[in-house]
Amino acid sequence: MPKAGIIYNDVKPVAVRIAVELKEKFTTAGWDVCITRGVGGILGYSTPESPVCHTPIEGLTPPGFDSEMRFAVVLGGDGTVLAASRLVAPCGIPILTVNTGHMGFLTEAYLNQLPQAIEQLLAGQYEVEERAMLSVKVFRGDATLWEALCLNEMVLHREPLTSMCHFEIAIGRHAPVDIAADGVIISTPTGSTAYSLSAGGPVVAPGVPVLQLVPICPHSLASRSLVFPDSDPVNIYPVNTPRLVMVVDGNGGCYVLPEDRVYLERSQYSARFIRLQSPEFFRILREKLGWGLPHIAKPTSVELP
């Protein structure tokens, strides 16, 4: 019996309703269906009373989701997609993302396209696009305090964000550099259109094997965005006496003290997105962010007298 999964945002009534309907549809068609809420992939925040909030990366996978699963349908917005990618990436499960949110930059289909999308899915008429993910860890000495998979970006800053921070950052085997800024972002190509873009970083096409370092409001004209190979690991040492806050993919993180070290590297796991048509990154940039659209009407061809 073939196996499928459904991951949904239980805060959105439409996502809950569609999840139930899809489960019935797949079950009637002879599929074994596992269903779970996307909240399981949300990392959560540590608190001053509980500074360590640690779940191993592989420990987030829901019961029943494994490498035998053909695919999982994700119902929600970009936050649900980010959470779902952490849930299933260790098992290599491809996900079909259906937008029930607002922008849905990471989603493949809209609700009004769902019947046709499911038809293609069951017929196997799709491609799988792999997106690089980051492994993010916080160490205190040799002990791992916190770890997570990251599809978009890791952000490290002070509370409040407007306070200046100092960081020593070592990329690969290069000598550490000192950066003074409100914070720093380490972004994947997928995350280059998220917080990194708002902070002045470049847009990077998904297939390019790079990461980028983006200082947030740097206190120097020399501190600008840096793109480097994703084969180079990154170590970040906070220099500030007050604690810092690390946030991963905008939905979870932990406190980072001066004696801690943040370590990032390209993960062995990838997010696998089901594409119902050939991936066209520039089309998504145009539709979602307005990239490349003309701001001035172009003249039509006129016959000369």
Q: Is 78 annotated as a binding residue?
A: yes
Q: Is 251 annotated as a binding residue?
A: yes
Q: Is 21 annotated as a binding residue?
A: no
200: its two tokens: 């002045």
Q: Is 194 annotated as a binding residue?
A: yes
**What size, in residues, is the chain?**
305
Q: Please name the residues in contact with 20: beta carbons below 8 A apart, sequence gap of 6 or more.
A: none
Angle at 19 between CA 280 and CA 38, to 5 degrees: 70
Could you read off the pLDDT of 200-229 as tens digits, one per residue? 999 999 999 999 999 999 988 888 999 999
Q: What is the pTM of this model?
A: 0.90
Catalytic-residue membership of 78: yes
E strand or H helix at 19, and its extent?
Answer: helix 13-28
Could you read off the pLDDT of 154-174 as tens digits, one per residue? 999 987 666 788 999 999 999
Q: What is the CA radius of gyration of the chain?
A: 21
Q: Which residues of the chain have pLDDT under 70?
A: 45-54, 160-162, 295-305
pLDDT of 203: 95
Domains of the chain: 3-131+270-289 (3.40.50.10330), 134-268 (2.60.200.30)
pLDDT of 54: 64
Residue 267 near residue 135, CB atoms below 8 Å: yes
pLDDT of 291: 84
CA distance 119 to 231: 39
From the candidates 10, 32, 78, 178, give the one annotated as an active-site residue: 78
pLDDT of 283: 86
